Amino acid sequence: MTDAKIIFFGEFQHGKKHGHGITIWNDGSFYYGQYADNHKDGQGVFVGSDKKAKFGLFVKDKPEGEIVIVLPNGHCRQVLYKEGGKHTIAEQSISPETDEDAKVATEYVS
């Protein structure tokens, strides 16, 4: 992901991103969620240019705590981000054709 942002829609406080918003980068990746003091900070979803989605808590631009990662093929991974590292908690493959929640997640990142 490059630092060149295409666009930001959202709330500002004292000239900084703060509250809810969405940033879209020129490679197609985006973050939608909460911001504080110009950082991704709070609940949100980051979708990379590879269409891998990370749902959960972000603290100063980094995932924190329990994050759900959804791959474009429908594979889900539950990961714990703690103290700069990540540890896989659980993995499962889901079928978007039969699981309504999976269908919504897959359509969201497509």
Q: What CATH fold (topology level) applies to the domain 5-109?
A: 2.20.110
Average pLDDT for 30-35:
97
Chain segment 53-104, per-residue pLDDT in tens? 999 999 999 999 888 999 988 888 888 887 667 776 666 655 555 555 555 4
Please state, in angstroms and as integers, the Cα–Cα distance from residue 68 to each residue in 13, 52, 53, following that order: 29, 10, 8
pLDDT over 90 (residue 12): yes
Please report, for the chain, the start and end positions of each structural domain, with discontinuous segments joined by +: 5-109
Cα–Cα distance measured from residue 14 to residue 36, given in angstroms and rounded to the nearest whole number: 11
Chain segment 15-27, per-residue pLDDT in tens? 999 999 999 999 9
